[in-house]
Structure 1
Amino acid sequence: MPTIEDVAKLAGVSIATVSRVINGSGYVSERTRYRVWKAIEELGYRPEISAKILASKGKLFHAYIFASKRILSPLQTSGILGEFYGVIIKAIEENCEKLGIKVELKFLEEFSKYTDTDGYIFVGGDVTREFIREAKSEKKPFVLVDHYIPGERVDCVISDGYDGAVYATNYLISRGFKKIVHIHGPLQPYGFKMRYDGYKDAMEKAGLMPRFYECDDTEEGTRKIVDIMLNSYGIPEAIFTSNDSIAFWVIKRLKEHGLKIPDDVSVVGFDDIVDAENFDPPLTTLRVFKYEMGCVACKRLHELLTKVNPHPLRTLVFTQFVKRKSTK
């Protein structure tokens, strides 16, 4: 039976750090948290949540976490590490348990089958207006994470993509770049739309012409868009992408065209997933505080379940610019 000492040794951290990760007490960096989670998974360690902690929360609740098959299927195959939504879901699972909310993970596409619960947390941009209205009809509290639907006044927790995009674009402009391109995924998800708007507004405010290219958020689609950009626009001085995965694919394709990063083109991503730090070159990006978003969503659901502050809230979590070697 693995112990907390075994977890600490495998993760290369102290026992106190493992304890902070398990109990959600004190600050632990996201990358250190990954290492602890990985060690827990590899060893099959099952931390015990103190019964008295749960008992102190009073009534116990049950909730479902809903995310699309597009999000959940890769997570079920590859685990939590390196996955944007994997971190958010892990945070929800850990923190709901501490608040006395038992959660189960379900496919969004099967929502109508699983309404026999106290509340819901919807994760990701695949949640449509129709899902929200169906959830409203159930008259049970719910929270959206990493998504917002204008006009639907429901509780949601999102990263401030607009502010992050403005900061990143202004950073590139301050370095003397003028030919700055934005390559983004489909704009239906609110997160991508906010980043698009932030880039566009920052460019226009600086008196520069925005230039955008939309890909389908896949490697093959991104490669095609890079080719189209180079043929129609030429070589930009800098590229700002709507997430880190797109940035990776852009850099790979630019290298295949013989371009050097950042000597020929600077590239900025968005999200700061685990692989960003270890990419070649290490990626300059905007860090989204994914674990914190999951924590806030849990606390908000608990407030709704206990009828505290029932008026809907839209909570924005600021990003942080992380300078690495993919930009001059």
Structure 2
Amino acid sequence: MAKETVVITGATGFIGARVLQLLLKRDYEVRIVVRSDGKAQALRDNPHLQGIERATFVVVPDLLSPGALDKAVAGADSMIHLASPIPLHGDIAPERQHDELIVPAVNATLRALEAAKKSSSVKRVVITSSAVAIISASILLPSEAPPSGRVVTGDDRVQEDQPPFPAAFAAYVASKVAALNASDKFMKEQKPAFDVVNVMPPYVIGPNLIAKTAAQLYEGTNAVFLALMTGRSDGSDPPEPGMAIHVDDVARVHVDALDRNKIKARNGVENCFLSQDIIWDDVPRIAAKKFPEAVKAGILSPDGRKRSKPGLSNSSKVEKAFGMKLKPLDAMVTDLASQYLELIKGK
């Protein structure tokens, strides 16, 4: 039986690199979309990506231009679309939020779907969405509490807020909502021959295959755990629902979702919200217990604090559908702290 060809965007990111690693391990024919030859070389040189020499690279400098992905997707069996803008470095001025976050998120998603439609060979597109696309922004940070007994599902939808936004995070949330809505609309109106699986994780935690320094581990959702482990989080931020997921589980769901016999898409779309409910203050306590010598050395601290709201997760649907047991908080903390401490030693 011929190997299936999978196109992947966003492989140079935290989640994307882990997805790519698993695709290579499972012996898929992988076609990697990168923005430059330099990005491709960085992946070729990454020691964690065994089998990368078998992959094909397609350089697409601008993922947002019409037809940008047509050549990369032509003849492929499926596609995993992870590329999306994330505000990593400080805030974004209100007048730039729409153009720098919302427009790229929406257009990148549409370019992927349009390319898949033009290629008659594509049968499934897996898209990385986010828990923030299906949970009300008022519940995520400010004082509003989740309704008693409320559980989030991938089929939930929230209002699409409009700019200006009070902060870059709020604009990021709006970008994920807008991209998900754009995908839903495309599938409903265009009725393509392929189907879509949306993967919706909250904070994704774990080793970062791309990071070469401890500082680079802070460039993404690992930052919230690291701030707790090192005592930099003092509990002064507004309370937030405790929700997180191990990066290995997110990668597995992305790759397992390629199996159309295993994961069925109802009416052309399947939505997978995967998360573990956690208590934020458990993070530094677990790290301190696992790595007491790092606490003595002043590298880690048990004193990090973050106020928790009730979680909104129920992982049973995803665990049953994918035949998996999600990794617990202990594994998230241990695996991330281990890499952090290794990188600290190597600086």
TM category (shorter chain) comes to: 0.3 to 0.5
- TM-score calculated relative to the size of structure 1: 0.39
Larger radius of gyration: 1
- TM-score calculated relative to the size of structure 2: 0.37
More helix by share: 1
